[in-house]
Structure 1
């Protein structure tokens, strides 16, 4: 078979062209990796932080979806929180609060606004079997801890098709999640390995119309409604409503008194990030059916759920429906 030879000049020009194309390809890939592909993520106050994101495993539907939700005044009203099985409330920088909504029995079309993760979230989520945590990002020093945690992390960098920006409010309060794009099917109630028990109310208790929990720069009030058979949620002195106008309401509210200490992390303004310790034991107040019960709580290990008992050691049942757990600093 005849072959066609190539002169040294032609080979040199072709090699140079190939090298240029390769360099351009590498440059483009690196640029993508430093922006949307490799991920700039929100530190919780609108500041970008680079992160290294790997390819997320496909959803198995075997565990819960947890979504970090902003709770600043500018982030309200919320979307999709009413569909959560459990809503956790924790203190963050500046005495403000964030919500973590946990979904197991149903998945709403939209949830948000989504914001950044905190170190306390990793301990709280250990009670579930490899949960999916959806969040906007985290500060750079926290990202390695998230990478090592037994959970599936999803951010706009790893699942861009699942997140979108709304047009009715400014950034960073306009990031929303389409949950079905990362968790097509809810895992079911068995995935709620919280240790919570449901059933008839314990004996005793005190008739209670409302209960208020105060953070340095945030306030939650739960007011009993006989008509709704629920605790109506208020935030910072105003009724808490969903984007469609519906009032937020919980079947059971737990005010859990815990140790809140400084973490090793600070925000870009230098404010320390509080760490909420959810493993241990202490006192709590359970609100259900218009009554308040003073109880004890215990969580022996991060992989365990939390047990709530009366003074004589009997388990405390919650009312059927959504549970709010508000972490308050122990006196």
Structure 2
């Protein structure tokens, strides 16, 4: 009963004795009602959206897919549905992509290529996700098996993969995400990996385009004010989807990390780079046509990556797909 109801009873003489006895309980009930009617935190502060994009979505389980980025592999399939796309340097200065899915699962993703040691440390912040990959060098396979994830290569989930005769080998292997996750029923669901979403922070520098270069690859991001997205380019050419659209991101993070040789290599004798994603360093966050200087920090492999501004406050991303480019 609200306070207006109590007031009406107090004006009724016959009910007055009973009301006086019940008054403490009635007032307590009124206080509880007022408390439930108070507005809560804004939706973005309550974390009701995807922890990967800030948007509504299925929220897991998490599937990582190692995606080819060689010229014969383009245009890739399913990248436009990824929540997060990580860009990694591999042998000979080339690049590979690690696409993370939890909100939406496309029919297929690829071309799928081999895993690297760096993927294991990077993915640990997602708990125990599933990882789709074409294979790995023999020395790395036992390391993958011992990592806190669920490997689902073709040898483990043969019915999750198919070959596309329209593309040349080895750029023609694709994975069906739903079947891959069916082979990893205990894969963890999406959880907080350090991203924060919300209104644009103050400051920043107007930025229409940003390019990140590897020894044998480059990545361009051009702001599209109409679409409110960063349009992606590979090696100076527009990055297209298999359907003829354009790959894009709501937020782009250029994360400066340490990259050094690992104990693994390819068949040509090239040493595989290892990208350190645990630690701290500088970053640039692109959102809304502006660039923001930031600092990233990840205290342990099991922890998320936090991005902060010059004042040490968490730097908010724009809601939507996030691309993270690792560079020195």
Q: Does TM-score exceed 0.5, indicating one fold?
A: yes
Structure 2 distance, partners of 1:112, 1:62, is 20
| Number of equivalent positions | 269
For residue 298 of structure 2, what is the aligned residue in structure 1? 299
- Where do 5+ consecutive residues of structure 1 fail to align? 1-60
| Residue of structure 2 in register with 1:196 after alignment | 195
Consecutive unaligned residues of structure 2, counting only runs of 5 or more, are: 1-58
CA contact (8 A) 1:104 1:188 kept: no
8 Å CA contact 1:79–1:113 kept in 2: the answer is yes
TM-score, length basis structure 2: 0.80
The 5 Å alignment of 1:1-331 reads 63-183=61-181, 191-329=190-328
Q: CA deviation at 1:129?
A: 1.7
Alpha-carbon spacing, 1:207–1:289, altered in 2? closer, same or farther (3 Å): same
Residue 114 (structure 1) shift:
0.2
| Cα separation, 2, equivalents of 1:165 and 1:149 | 28
- Runs of 4+ in structure 1 off by over 6 angstroms are 185-190
Match of 1:22 in 2: none
Q: Distance in 2 between the 1:197 and 1:186 partners? A: 28
Distance in 2, Cα, partners of 1:171 & 1:131:
28
Q: Which has the larger radius of gyration?
A: 2
| CA shift for structure 1 position 183 | 2.2
| SS of 1:293 mapped into structure 2 | strand
Partner Cα distance (1:188, 1:151) in 2: 8
Contact kept, 8 Å, 1:65 with 1:183, in 2: the verdict is yes
Q: Deviations over 1:17-50 (max 9, x none)?
A: xxxxxxxxxxxxxxxxxxxxxxxxxxxxxxxxxx
Q: What is the aligned partner in structure 1 of residue 13 from structure 2? A: none
How many angstroms does 1:186 deviate by? 11
Tell me by how many angstroms 1:194 deviates: 1.7
Contact 1:252 1:324 in 2 (8 A): yes
Contact residue 62 and residue 187 of structure 1 kept, 8 A? no
With over 3 angstroms needed to count, the CA separation of the structure-2 counterparts of 1:281 and 1:150, relative to structure 1, is same
Task: Rate the CA distance shift 1:196–1:186 in 2: closer, same or farther, 3 A.
Answer: farther
Q: Hey, what's the Cα distance between the residues in 2 that align with 1:100 and 1:325?
A: 10
Q: Distance in 2 between matches of 1:229 and 1:246?
A: 15
Structure 2 CA distance, aligned partners of 1:95 and 1:188?
32
Higher helix share: 2
How far residue 187 of structure 1 moved from its aligned partner, in angstroms, is 10
The CA distance in 1 between the partners of 2:94 and 2:233, in whole Å, is: 15
Say if 1:231 and 1:192 are closer, same or farther in 2 by CA, change over 3 A.
farther
